[in-house]
Amino acid sequence: MDAVISPDVRRIAMLSAHTSPLEQPGNGDAGGMNVYVLELARRLAARSVEVEIFTRATSSEQPSIVEALPGVLVRHVPAGPFEGLGKEDLPAQMCTFVRDVLRAEAARPVGWFDAVHSHYWLSGQVGQVAADRWGVPLVHSMHTMAKVKNANLAAGDAAEPAGRVAGEQELVEVADRLIANTADEAAQLVGLYGADPDRVDVVHPGVDLDRFRPSDQCAARAALGLPLDADVILFAGRIQPLKAPDVVLEAAAQLMAGARRDRTVVAVVGGPSGSGLDRPTALVELAASLGISDRVRFVPPVAQDRLALWYAAASIVCVPSYNESFGLVALEAQACGTPVVAAKVGGLATAVHDGVTGMLVDGHDPADYAAAFAQVLDQPGLHASMRTAAVCHAGRFGWDATAERTLAVYERAVAEEAIAAVRSLPTAVGQ
């Protein structure tokens, strides 16, 4: 029988190659994963686990090292031109990235990091090399998967390349532990990529329950310059086909076809991203073509505290994405007491309790979303009960629980690595 090994996880190298956790979510490549990485690191540091986050430098003015929080360092690693590189250009820069990651560790005592946690497939390519060189386990979080995205493409969106599919497949085979956001994602890892179920752990992302909490709707609307008696429909996130903001506008236009036009306001908070950068004014043009420009407010990405104000001000938050590994926007909105109308895809089926904290919609027909909006808005009793239930539901997903479960995954990976090392030792003669 193997000896019981009690791992002591003290330091984690966290890799977020293509986007910095210090970037403003809602624009470019910055989104829920940025929030995830920083909040997880914050909660791990509170548990006396030091975290160093390695990310690609995107400006010559960025300091090489930033203490983002006590116990959390962010290293901006030069890899390719600072500006002008799209996410599709980054695979060619990963050799340079991994070189500087290894250099950073080489300046430390041997055995400095206990494990590597990589986020998204690009980071996983770096994580494989670093974990192997340092002799520590690799824990990987996909966040999104090419095979899933390609099976649920929005009109006009580009398919993920074969190189990404191959990279993800390799990661599934070599990572010591895989973290899935939901049971649905775990099933996709097993079914689509052939992952070993015994190496997949389900850890739900969290929500900052101190920042996102119920507050006075009238006060929030007054602060944002919104009518106090309006039906406010909010979309918050990156503006790209994957997130389907066009569905929100088309559904709202149908909702406003009758007498309720003057009491409806649509707010779109976010900036162009991904293939949405090809037509950055497409959503503004769509609003004009639908004849609802006067009822739509376009707002650039905002800081988290300001975003909480928008959630509080909204009557409904709509998340009609074609794919979401979880859907932090849905969870944050519910934590603020706002019902959510969302697509019944991916992690949104976990993030939203259908019929209780909001409505899940099959497909992306604007008419179906308009009907869901009307159902929630036209029944004050239902809306009130959803507001109450939403807060309770979101309360189950605090970041502290995420950190505890993730730390348990690290400890399991370290213990398994130690046991494997013991088993590989030659047996002494005569024993």
For the chain, give every domain's residue range: 11-206+398-424, 217-395
Would the pLDDT of 22 be above 50?
yes
Q: What percent of the chain has pLDDT over 70?
A: 90
Q: What's the mean pLDDT when you consider all of the chain?
A: 89
Q: Between 364 and 26, where is the model more confident?
A: 364
DSSP string, 189-240: HHHHH---GGGEEE----B-TTTS----HHHHHHHHT--TT-EEEEEES-BS
pLDDT by residue (tens digit) across 163-215? 999 999 999 999 999 999 999 999 999 999 999 999 999 999 999 999 999 99
CA diameter of the chain: 90
Confidence of residue 29 (pLDDT cuts 50, 70, 90): low
pLDDT by residue (tens digit) across 378-391? 999 999 999 999 99
Confidence of residue 292 (pLDDT cuts 50, 70, 90): very high
| Segment 273-278 mean pLDDT | 61
Annotated binding site for Mg(2+): 311, 314, 338
CA pair distance 133, 426, nearest whole angstrom: 22
Confidence of residue 139 (pLDDT cuts 50, 70, 90): very high
CA pair distance 415, 97, nearest whole angstrom: 28
Report the pLDDT value the prediction gives residue 61, as an integer from 0 to 100.
78
Would the pLDDT of 3 be above 50?
no
Among the listed residues 133, 350, 169, the one whose alpha carbon sits nearest the alpha carbon of residue 178: 169
Q: In a 10 Å sphere around its CB, with 0-12 CB exposed, 13-18 middle and 19+ buried, how is residue 305 labelled?
A: exposed
Confidence of residue 5 (pLDDT cuts 50, 70, 90): very low
For 86, the enclosing helix (H) or strand (E) is none
Please give the structure tokens belonging to residue 273: 């991203």
Would the pLDDT of 288 be above 60?
yes
Report the pLDDT value the prediction gives residue 87, as an integer from 0 to 100.
58
| Segment 231-236 mean pLDDT | 98
| CATH code, residues 217-395 | 3.40.50.2000
The alpha carbon of 369 is separated from its chain's Cα centroid by a whole number of angstroms, namely 23
DSSP 8-state assignment for residue 398: B
In 3-state terms, what secondary structure has residue 96? helix
Annotated binding site for 1D-myo-inositol 3-phosphate: 18, 29-34, 87, 120, 144, 164
Please give the structure tokens belonging to residue 357: 């904290």
Beta bridge partners of 129: none
Annotated binding site for UDP-N-acetyl-alpha-D-glucosamine: 24-25, 32, 238, 243, 302, 324, 332
Angle at 299 between CA 225 and CA 353, to 5 degrees: 90
DSSP 8-state assignment for residue 90: G
The answer to whether the 11-206+398-424 and 217-395 domains have the same CATH topology is: yes
The alpha carbon of 4 is separated from its chain's Cα centroid by a whole number of angstroms, namely 35
Would the pLDDT of 237 be above 60?
yes
Report the pLDDT value the prediction gives residue 18, as an integer from 0 to 100.
73
For 382, the enclosing helix (H) or strand (E) is helix 380-394
Q: In a 10 Å sphere around its CB, with 0-12 CB exposed, 13-18 middle and 19+ buried, how is residue 189 labelled?
A: buried
Give residues with Cβ within 8 angstroms of 169, minimum separation 6.
193
Annotated binding site: 18, 24-25, 29-34, 87, 120, 144, 164, 238, 243, 302, 311, 314, 324, 332, 338
pLDDT by residue (tens digit) across 339-364? 999 999 989 999 999 999 999 999 99
Would the pLDDT of 278 be above 70?
no
CATH 3.40.50.2000 is held by the domain 11-206+398-424: yes
pLDDT by residue (tens digit) across 70-120? 999 999 988 655 565 565 656 656 777 888 888 887 788 888 999 999 999
Would the pLDDT of 69 be above 50?
yes
CA pair distance 217, 199, nearest whole angstrom: 45
The alpha carbon of 52 is separated from its chain's Cα centroid by a whole number of angstroms, namely 19
Report the pLDDT value the prediction gives residue 283, as an integer from 0 to 100.
94
Would the pLDDT of 21 be above 60?
yes
Confidence of residue 419 (pLDDT cuts 50, 70, 90): confident
Among the listed residues 237, 227, 323, 309, the one whose alpha carbon sits nearest the alpha carbon of residue 276: 237
Please give the structure tokens belonging to residue 335: 């934590």
